Amino acid sequence: MDTDTVAPSPTAQPLHFHRTAQPAASQAQPRWRVQAVADLLDLPFTELMFQAQTVHRQHFDPTEVELATLLSIKTGGCPEDCGYCPQSAHHPTGVAATKMMTPEAVREAVLGAKAAGATRFCMGAAWRAPKDRDVEAVAELVRTIKAEGLEACATLGMLEQRHADALRDAGLDYYNHNLDSAPDFYGDIITTRDYQDRLDTLARVRSAGVKVCSGGIVGMGESRLQRAGLIAELANLSPYPESVPINHLVKVAGTPLADQPDLDPLEFVRTIAVARITMPTARVRLSAGRRQMSDAVQALCFAAGANSIFYGDKLLVTGNPDVAADQALLARLGMTARGVAAA
Ligand code: SAM
Ligand code: DTB
Ligand code: SF4
């Protein structure tokens, strides 16, 4: 396996906004070669940040961040063997399998998230793929979220077309399904389903007319070129996802990746910057791993173009900075939350 390289390549040149991608005549958006993305990752840090900030300002207010609250509506006992995941039944992590939460309990969480200032509510379930009755139950929860004026997002595993259509009909705004890694690293992390399964689900979500939320995890032992491979896969989806979560691996005891060596935090910031440059209008989400990150690194992520965070003291099963800590951080940075939800 390649090791991380954090020194800028001596041959990398400042790009000054010339596209490094090879536009294909038949496509509305440029296709990104993996090497072109790797060239961005290799840029001197200051140059990379300048490019990312310039792109960010063309499409967003760089002082504004989206607050999304995450809720695990069905936890643990998952049949998949994703090497990073505390909810896989294959790994002895001590996470107990639960039944799906009741609609009342979910509604309470939605009201709490709205009162705390979140505008987006994301529900996660530890399923390989939901059954028809699971989708019916989640559709009801989507209606609850929409009735409170929040955007609704769900991540339930692989979807059939009828499931994506039913979630759309209920008003789902985004479906999250991550590519997670470059295609050539995926098999090192997950063996129970393949990359094409992931792409197929994303295609069904797109075809249902639900916005796509798809990203990956950084810090699993991938090389810089493989980080470029992940970003190129995402950026070459046509169209690219509206929402791109970049997770830092949360090392959980009992998972195969528990003892993964630490990643240079600047490498994570670089990945955010390259996601911003290659997917200019996407919401780039500084996702898992913030509790293990310093405020300074988070600030660099915002400066690199991240404009969404998970907000609330828990992710799915692991911790997240608490609301007071996040409000203090945003105040220190002079950043504001994206418009509060309507009635
Ligand atoms: N079971 C569904 C699936 O895999 O699509 C939805 C839930 S799954 C937990 C959602 C995403 O959480 C994964 O694709 C992965 O990117 C992220 N994730 C899970 N465990 C993580 C960890 N330890 N560190 C960082 N991200 C993690
Ligand atoms: C995403 O990309 N990250 C979130 C959300 N989508 C569902 C999940 C992060 C999970 C982190 C580990 C845990 O708490 O289970
Ligand atoms: Fe299951 Fe999703 Fe965790 Fe994989 S990431 S083990 S599919 S809950």
Residue whose CB lies within 8 A of the most ligand 3 atoms, among 73, 74, 75, 78, for a mutation test = 78
Question: Ligand 1 in contact with 155 (CB < 6 A)?
Answer: yes
User: Which residues neighbour 171 within 8 Å (Cβ) at sequence distance 6 or greater?
Assistant: 142, 143, 146, 152
Closest-approaching ligand to the CA atom of 181:
1
Active site residue 153: yes
* Residue 323: per-residue pLDDT: 95
pLDDT at 28: 64
* Shortest-distance Cα residue to atom 19 of ligand 1: 85
**Does 2 have pLDDT greater than 90?**
no
Q: 29: pLDDT confidence band, cut at 50, 70 and 90?
A: confident
Q: Is the CB of 157 under 6 A from ligand 3?
A: yes
The pLDDT > 90 percentage for the chain reads: 90
Distance 254 CA to ligand 1 centre (A): 16
> CA nearest 4: which of 249, 198, 307, 328?
249
Q: Which of 315, 318, 320 to mutate to test the pocket of ligand 2 (most atoms within 8 A of CB)?
A: 315
Please check the confidence at residue 303 and state whether its pLDDT lies above 80: yes
Q: Tokens for 29?
A: 């958006």
Distance from the first to the final alpha carbon of the chain: 51
Quote the ligand 3 centre to 88 CA distance (angstroms).
6
User: Does residue 336 carry a pLDDT above 70?
Assistant: yes
Q: Which atom of ligand 2 is nearest to the CA of 178?
A: 2
Of 158, 132, 196, the residue nearest 79 (C-alpha): 158
Residue 9 has pLDDT above 70, yes or no: no
Beta carbons within 8 Å of 104's beta carbon, 6+ residues apart: none
Which ligand 1 atom sits nearest the alpha carbon of residue 128?
1
pLDDT of residue 6: 30
Res 339: pLDDT = 80
pLDDT of 11 reads: 31
Per-residue pLDDT band for 270 (boundaries 50, 70, 90) equals: very high
**Residue 85 bears catalytic tag:** yes
Q: Is the pLDDT of residue 237 over 70?
A: yes
pLDDT at 15 (0 to 100)? 40
Q: What is the mean pLDDT of residues 130-149?
A: 97
**What pLDDT is stored for residue 340 in this prediction?**
62
**Which ligand lies nearest to the CA atom of residue 316 in the structure?**
2
pLDDT confidence bin for 298, thresholds 50/70/90:
very high
CB of 29 sitting under 6 A from ligand 2: no
Above 90 in pLDDT, residue 75?
A: yes
Please tell me the predicted confidence (pLDDT) of residue 4: 32
Range in 156-160, 220-224, 262-266, 335-339 with the lowest mean pLDDT: 335-339
State the pLDDT confidence band at 39, using cuts at 50, 70 and 90. very high
Predicted confidence (pLDDT) at residue 136 exceeds the cutoff of 80 = yes
- Given a cut of 50, whether residue 287 has pLDDT beyond it is yes
Annotated active-site residue 301? The verdict is no
3-state secondary structure the chain: CCCCCCCCCCCCCCCCCCCCCECCCCCCCCECCHHHHHHHHCCCHHHHHHHHHHHHHHHCCCCEEEEEEEEEEECCCECCCCCCCCCECCCCCCCCCCCCCCHHHHHHHHHHHHHHCCCEEEEEECCCCCCHHHHHHHHHHHHHHHHCCCEEEEECCCCCHHHHHHHHHHCCCEEECCCECCHHHHHHHCCCCCHHHHHHHHHHHHHHCCEEECCEEECCCCCHHHHHHHHHHHHCCCCCCCEEEEEECCCCCCCCCCCCCCCCHHHHHHHHHHHHHHCCCCEEEECCCHHHCCHHHHHHHHHCCCCEEECCCECCCCECCCHHHHHHHHHHHCCEECCCCCC
| Segment among 6-10, 29-33, 123-127, 175-179 with least mean pLDDT | 6-10
Residue of 120, 204, 213, 301 marked catalytic: 213
Q: What is the mean pLDDT of the chain?
A: 92
